[in-house]
Amino acid sequence: MKTGFTRFGRFIRMAKQAAAPTVMACMLSAAAAGTAQAAQAEDVRKQGWEALPEDKKEAFREGIKQIPDEVVELHRLEGARVVFVDGLLCPNGGDGDPCVKGLYWHDDKKIELAISSNWSNSEISTAAAHEFGHFLYFQTYIFWTEEEKAQLAAEYNYWKQYSYDCTDIEETFAVLYSMYRGSGEQYLSDACKAMLGGAE
């Protein structure tokens, strides 16, 4: 559940892209107007979907409903895919980087999800929300206020004490987003929820 490993170089290049802001502006205003609705699996550009067992498809359908349709729609409009992989994802063949349940790739905004029969439905839901959290963070970061950035930095300093997954600012956002859109909202402060909701 970590980002691609060339993130800083990719991020700088992505921030310079001029294409996204127009789309983002209308997405953000739609979200601000409180029109967010649950996303549907049909809204996602999928790869490897047909090969999934029906119970895993259902787990993803349930998981994606946690996420506002604006976020998933933007991912699709960006031409990005969710790729379902049988078994673990091992970047670098597991050499140095541990195997993970999900990956977010900066260059094409691809989300990879490991769909093993060993994973519970809630693990699949959490991994999907986590990786969409990475997408949301990198799509919106350049629009954040200083207060929102400071809030995320404070959350990182707090949560790194309790979660091994909160290894940096970016991972912390994804971890908190999966809590916010999953079953962990009660553990988040109002300021944290405002920061996460603001990104949407």
| Interaction site with Zn ion (CB under 5 A) | 1-2, 171, 174
State in angstroms the smallest separation of the CB of 35 from Zn ion.
Answer: 28
| Identity at 107, one-letter amino acid code | D
Q: Which is nearer to Zn ion, 62 or 165 (CB)?
A: 165
Closest CB to Zn ion among residues 1, 179: 1
Residue 129 · residue 67 · CB < 8 Å: yes
∠ CA 168-176-194 to the nearest 5 degrees? 115
Query: For residues 23 and 182, which CB has a smaller minimum distance to Zn ion in the complex?
Result: 182
Q: In terms of CB distance, is 32 or 99 closer to Zn ion?
A: 99
Closest approach of Cβ 86 to Zn ion, in Å?
20
Q: How far is the CB of 25 from Zn ion (least distance, A)?
A: 26
68: part of which helix (H) or strand (E)? none
Dist CA 132 CA 115 (whole Å): 16
Distance CA 129, CA 72 (A): 10
Minimum distance between the CB of residue 174 and Zn ion, rounded to whole angstroms? 4
Other CB atoms within 10 A of residue 146 CB: 7
